[in-house]
């Protein structure tokens, strides 16, 4: 399998962590966006987004949620995607919340990258940052557990992205969540191994 990724992408980090947790580290060839000038892998996704997984059969799979489901299936099923409905939908909802935090914080980063200074909208930035802050408040109030599944992998990846892009300032106001992330990092070596 080939994974088109970028070291800083939190969505790609979800996939990289899941791949290692499931024992696929040696089976997934990582292709860095920066080292792929022809952009052959990205061209397989009409949305031009990463991560994108090319299976051994040549199928292009995106987005990160679908790739995680594919890897879970490849590993025999119900390894990082619980079977029992209550656990399954809690985990999937946790993943949706974490993905939403990533999307909003990426839009904050893109504002600088894609807009001319005069076009940058403080109103839009505040709108996106509010989603990040509300998401963190929800996680602080209802902490993820000790399980290693699509929900906790996504939450850890989202928090890691905030550490990278926003200097970890979130930690001061969310001490229980910060302690949870430190515990996850200690329990899951793949977290540290996939840091940008």
Ligand X SMILES: N[C@@H](CCC(=O)N[C@@H](CS)C(=O)NCC(=O)O)C(=O)O
Q: Which residues bind ligand X (CB under 6 A)?
A: 9, 11, 48-51, 63-65, 99, 106
Residue 11 vs 170, nearer CB to ligand X = 11
Q: Is the dihedral of CA 78, 149, 66, 30 positive or negative?
A: negative
Give the nearest distance from C-beta 3 to ligand X in angstroms. 11
Q: By beta-carbon distance, which residue lies closest to ligand X?
A: 63
Give the nearest distance from C-beta 42 to ligand X in angstroms. 8
CA distance 132 to 116: 24
Residue 60 vs 140, nearer CB to ligand X = 60
Give the nearest distance from C-beta 119 to ligand X in angstroms. 17
Ramachandran region, residue 57 (left: φ > 0; alpha: ψ -120 to 50; beta: rest):
alpha
Give the nearest distance from C-beta 186 to ligand X in angstroms. 26
DSSP state, residue 117 = G
Spatial CA neighbour of 88 closest among 147, 130, 132, 142: 147
Residue 69 vs 133, nearer CB to ligand X = 69
């Amino acid at each position: 399998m080939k994974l088109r990724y970028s070291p800083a992408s939190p969505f790609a980090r979800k996939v990289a962590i899941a791949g290692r947790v499931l024992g696929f580290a040696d089976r997934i060839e990582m292709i860095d966006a920066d080292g792929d000038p022809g952009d052959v892998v990205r061209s397989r996704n009409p949305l031009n987004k990463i991560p994108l997984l090319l299976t051994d059969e040549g199928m292009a799979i995106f987005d990160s949620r679908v790739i995680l489901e594919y890897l879970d299936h490849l590993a025999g099923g119900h390894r990082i995607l619980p079977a029992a409905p209550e656990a399954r939908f809690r985990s999937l909802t946790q993943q949706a919340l974490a993905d939403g935090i990533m999307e909003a914080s990426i839009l904050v980063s893109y504002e600088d990258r894609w807009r001319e200074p005069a076009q940058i909208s403080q109103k839009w930035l505040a709108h996106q940052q509010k989603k990040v802050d509300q998401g963190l408040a929800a996680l602080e109030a209802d902490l993820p557990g000790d399980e290693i599944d699509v929900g906790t992998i996504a939450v850890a990846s989202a928090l890691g992205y905030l550490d990278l892009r926003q200097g970890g300032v979130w930690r001061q106001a969310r001490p229980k969540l910060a302690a949870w992330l430190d515990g996850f990092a200690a329990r899951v070596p793949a977290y540290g191994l996939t840091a940008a």
